[in-house]
Amino acid sequence: MEFVTADAATTGATTAPAGRILIIDDEANIRATMTRCLKRSAYAVSVAADGPAGLEQLAAGDIDLVLLDINMPGMSGFDVLAEIRRSHAPSELPVLMVSASGQSCDILRAIQSDANDYVVKPVEARALLWRIETHLARCRAELALRESEQRLTLALRGSNEGLWDWDRDSGAIYFSPRWKALLGYGETEGPASFDAWLELVHPDDRVMFVGAIDAHVSGDTPQLDIEYRIRHRSGEYRWARTRGAYASIGRNAARIVGAQTDVTDRKLVDAATGLPNRVRFKDCLDEALRAKQPFAVALINIDRFRVINEGLGSEAGDVLLGCFAERFKGALAPAHMLARLGGDEFALLAPDVSSDAEMSLLIAECRRRFEAPVTVGEHALHISFRVGAVIADAEHRVPGDLLHRADMALRSAKLQIEDRVAFGERPARGVALARLKLENDLHCALAQDEFVAVFQPIVALATGRTVGFEALARWHKPGQGMIAPGCFVPVAEETALIGAIDDRILALACGEAARWPCPAFITVNVSGYRFGDPALITGIARRLAGSGLDPRRLKLEITESTIMTDASATARTVKAIAERGIGVAIDDFGTGYSSLAYLHRFDATTLKIDRSFVQAMAESDQGVEIVRTIIMLARTLKMSVVAEGIETRAQCDVLRALSCDYGQGYYFAKPLSADDARRRLSLEIDMVKEAV
């Protein structure tokens, strides 16, 4: 291919050409005439005598515009155009069709086929140059616009700002993808009008928001610059800063263009309640710890907040949070700090409180403020709350540790019927040291692989046959024999160790079950503390894959009290587990004062009646009635039932009469070693064979 500019041809200089033109035409004299004409105007020209040759040159790159003959033998100009348009939009590569005179249908077809323009043979030099110039100029302008838009987008993204552009007269409003993403929306979602934007603005900020825009539009302020609260898609309010400028275009058209950014983190103030936020609270906690004086920290959760939020809507939920904060603060001294950590979780820092008794008094005063119902819309809500508190003393050095203890106390407060304050235990020095040693030993035990699983049979009451096993953890501590989970699970649960122990037992259990001579199921206990951990599901999937066990043969047991700690989160996790075909059993049912109303929201497959109910059957008729009711409840929820802790024939008979599906307990077998469990299954298979 030869590119020669007129300048280059005459002077030998290498100035840039005015543009690079490709002529595709089968007639040599037309190619020559056009080439001459274009070169005189400083264009670089390349030529091709047919479609395929032209496409090849195009593919080599560096062409700004194509002059394309319509009538060519073989591949026609339209075929070539279609090929070009596969990879080049009209705005990127203009194509001018060259047609024989009088072929108006060709011209129409050319325009319909995405040609940019046409010229008619014999080609008139000035008309040709004018058209070429026009199209190249338009192309360059579009390219520059695209580049500047791209630059702006990149700049805005870099500055974390979202763009908005509102035409006040037509009402049309544009929100950039980044603007939407800051509020949790995808590109095609989110508000589509100014009113919809205003809907998202916190009710308390709406007057200020609209007022600031009006003030700027009427010229009272040189720039729009406001910070306000806006509802994120998750329902949470976020702090946003919006800056903008108003432009009056023509007589009517008026636009405001601006950028918005999320400033929640630097506000240090919770958007929904106006209280200090988590970041601010942590700072103050650090400060209190540095002061080396005793003080108190409490975590507070509103009872049934999720039910209220889901039942009455998140706007009502926000109103409730605001009222709660206000009333609670009413009982506090100026030195106290109430903060909102997120959701319905509040935290209190009380620098002047140094004993459990003082803290109990303070909280009792706060509770008194909630004796009258809180009005939310037309609802009068009786509000109660749980408190987990810790008195910080010289032993406490790290805020994380303090909050962890307060959280543990809060969890135990949630399990109590009355709403009193639970205190994070402050172990006596000796006890603390023993605990520390146990924690350390557990770490070593994991590293040395000292955890083993034992297997307790689960029996079908109607047939007496073993249908599955529950894997139970044991710590095989050298020189000390088998240690029961009651001695280490509680400590492991206070640290991250429980995750590793559960995972170890899960791996052992899946591996064992995969080797059994029949497809009996295996149930494995999962600590409730792990139900908020997203890694739980992937960990389980990994163990299943590693063992090759069919997921339908695995059941996970979660204790009923876990469910009640954070019902929504647990329901989500249970759903994700159930979707993988894995069963879920609610363990120790009846001990967690669970709300029956919640139970149907779980995709649990099995209910395990706690041992205490099985024992209580012998004590009174009422005991039997309770078990009968639980079994009926399970039937209604389409769950199977396992009775735990069956120790006598009499208990077994009653449960069978009550149509309980399965039983587990010393009456059938104590937890067995892996070998004994496998042997039990083989023996039963042999017995059936003999009977046949």
- Footprint of Mg ion (CB under 5 A): 525, 557, 587-588, 644
β-strands 521-525, 466-477 pairing: parallel
> Measured from the CB atom, is 229 or 474 closer to ligand C2E?
474
Residue 487: partners with Cβ closer than 8 Å, 6 or more residues away: 475
Q: Which residues pair with 98 in a beta bridge?
A: 69, 119
> Measured from the CB atom, is 318 or 470 closer to ligand C2E?
470
Decide: helix, strand or coil at residue 237. strand
| Cα–Cα separations (whole angstroms), residue 240 to 123, 165, 227, 260, 270 | 61, 16, 6, 7, 12
Number of other residues whose CB lies within 10 A of the CB of residue 455: 29
Residue 452: partners with Cβ closer than 8 Å, 6 or more residues away: 473, 474, 475, 476, 482, 508
Q: Are 550 and 582 in contact (CB under 8 A)?
A: no
- Residue 665 interacts, among ligand C2E, Mg ion, none and using kind-specific CB cut-offs from 5 to 8 Å, with ligand C2E
- Residue 502 interacts, among Mg ion, ligand C2E, none and using kind-specific CB cut-offs from 5 to 8 Å, with ligand C2E
> Measured from the CB atom, is 21 or 472 closer to ligand C2E?
472
Q: Taking CB positions, which residue lies at the least distance from Mg ion?
A: 557
- Residue 671 interacts, among Mg ion, ligand C2E, none and using kind-specific CB cut-offs from 5 to 8 Å, with ligand C2E
Q: How far apart, in whole angstroms, are the C-alpha atoms of residue 483 and residue 475?
A: 5
> Measured from the CB atom, is 566 or 588 closer to Mg ion?
588
- Residue 666 interacts, among ligand C2E, Mg ion, none and using kind-specific CB cut-offs from 5 to 8 Å, with ligand C2E
- Residue 647 interacts, among Mg ion, ligand C2E, none and using kind-specific CB cut-offs from 5 to 8 Å, with ligand C2E
Provide, rounded to whole angstroms, the least separation between the CB of residue 559 and Mg ion: 7
Q: How far apart, in whole angstroms, are the C-alpha atoms of residue 230 and residue 239?
A: 6
Provide, rounded to whole angstroms, the least separation between the CB of residue 589 and ligand C2E: 10
For residue 524, give the amino acid letter.
Answer: V
What is the gyration radius of the CA atoms in the chain, in angstroms? 38
Q: How far apart, in whole angstroms, are the C-alpha atoms of residue 319 and residue 280?
A: 22
Provide, rounded to whole angstroms, the least separation between the CB of residue 615 and Mg ion: 13
Closest Cα to residue 535, out of 494, 478, 496?
Answer: 496
- Residue 539 interacts, among ligand C2E, Mg ion, none and using kind-specific CB cut-offs from 5 to 8 Å, with none
Provide, rounded to whole angstroms, the least separation between the CB of residue 525 and ligand C2E: 4
Q: Are 627 and 597 in contact (CB under 8 A)?
A: no
Residues that bind ligand C2E (CB under 6 A): 456, 472-473, 484-486, 489, 498, 502, 505, 525, 527, 557, 587-588, 611, 644-647, 664-666, 671
Provide, rounded to whole angstroms, the least separation between the CB of residue 608 and ligand C2E: 7
Q: Are 227 and 238 in contact (CB under 8 A)?
A: no
Q: How far apart, in whole angstroms, are the C-alpha atoms of residue 582 and residue 197?
A: 43
> Measured from the CB atom, is 166 or 451 closer to ligand C2E?
451
- Residue 99 interacts, among ligand C2E, Mg ion, none and using kind-specific CB cut-offs from 5 to 8 Å, with none
- Residue 294 interacts, among Mg ion, ligand C2E, none and using kind-specific CB cut-offs from 5 to 8 Å, with none
Provide, rounded to whole angstroms, the least separation between the CB of residue 505 and ligand C2E: 4
- Residue 466 interacts, among Mg ion, ligand C2E, none and using kind-specific CB cut-offs from 5 to 8 Å, with none
Q: How far apart, in whole angstroms, are the C-alpha atoms of residue 472 and residue 484?
A: 9
State the first-to-last Cα distance of the chain, in angstroms, to the nearest integer: 90
- Residue 158 interacts, among ligand C2E, Mg ion, none and using kind-specific CB cut-offs from 5 to 8 Å, with none
Q: Which residues pair with 95 in a beta bridge?
A: 66
Q: How far apart, in whole angstroms, are the C-alpha atoms of residue 284 and residue 406?
A: 16
- Residue 676 interacts, among Mg ion, ligand C2E, none and using kind-specific CB cut-offs from 5 to 8 Å, with none
> Measured from the CB atom, is 285 or 586 closer to ligand C2E?
586
Q: How far apart, in whole angstroms, are the C-alpha atoms of residue 257 and residue 621?
A: 76
Token readout for 297 is 């920290």
Provide, rounded to whole angstroms, the least separation between the CB of residue 507 and ligand C2E: 11
Token readout for 102 is 């009088």
Tokens 């469990």 correspond to: 677
- Residue 205 interacts, among ligand C2E, Mg ion, none and using kind-specific CB cut-offs from 5 to 8 Å, with none
Q: Are 17 and 3 in contact (CB under 8 A)?
A: yes
> Measured from the CB atom, is 42 or 514 closer to ligand C2E?
514
> Measured from the CB atom, is 275 or 652 closer to ligand C2E?
652
Provide, rounded to whole angstroms, the least separation between the CB of residue 482 and ligand C2E: 10
Provide, rounded to whole angstroms, the least separation between the CB of residue 630 and ligand C2E: 15
> Measured from the CB atom, is 350 or 631 closer to Mg ion?
631
> Measured from the CB atom, is 131 or 555 closer to Mg ion?
555
- Residue 383 interacts, among Mg ion, ligand C2E, none and using kind-specific CB cut-offs from 5 to 8 Å, with none
Q: How far apart, in whole angstroms, are the C-alpha atoms of residue 211 and residue 202?
A: 14
- Residue 456 interacts, among Mg ion, ligand C2E, none and using kind-specific CB cut-offs from 5 to 8 Å, with ligand C2E
Provide, rounded to whole angstroms, the least separation between the CB of residue 410 and ligand C2E: 20
> Measured from the CB atom, is 350 or 505 closer to ligand C2E?
505
> Measured from the CB atom, is 343 or 485 closer to ligand C2E?
485
Q: What is the DSSP string of 603-624?
A: ---EEEE-HHHHHHTTT-HHHH
> Measured from the CB atom, is 270 or 587 closer to ligand C2E?
587
Provide, rounded to whole angstroms, the least separation between the CB of residue 585 and ligand C2E: 9
Q: Are 165 and 255 in contact (CB under 8 A)?
A: yes
> Measured from the CB atom, is 520 or 558 closer to ligand C2E?
558
Provide, rounded to whole angstroms, the least separation between the CB of residue 678 and Mg ion: 21
Q: Which residues pair with 120 in a beta bridge?
A: 99
Q: Are 415 and 308 in contact (CB under 8 A)?
A: no
Token readout for 323 is 């009222």
Q: Are 530 and 475 in contact (CB under 8 A)?
A: no
Provide, rounded to whole angstroms, the least separation between the CB of residue 377 and ligand C2E: 43
Q: How far apart, in whole angstroms, are the C-alpha atoms of residue 421 and residue 300?
A: 9
Provide, rounded to whole angstroms, the least separation between the CB of residue 591 and Mg ion: 9
Q: Are 66 and 158 in contact (CB under 8 A)?
A: no
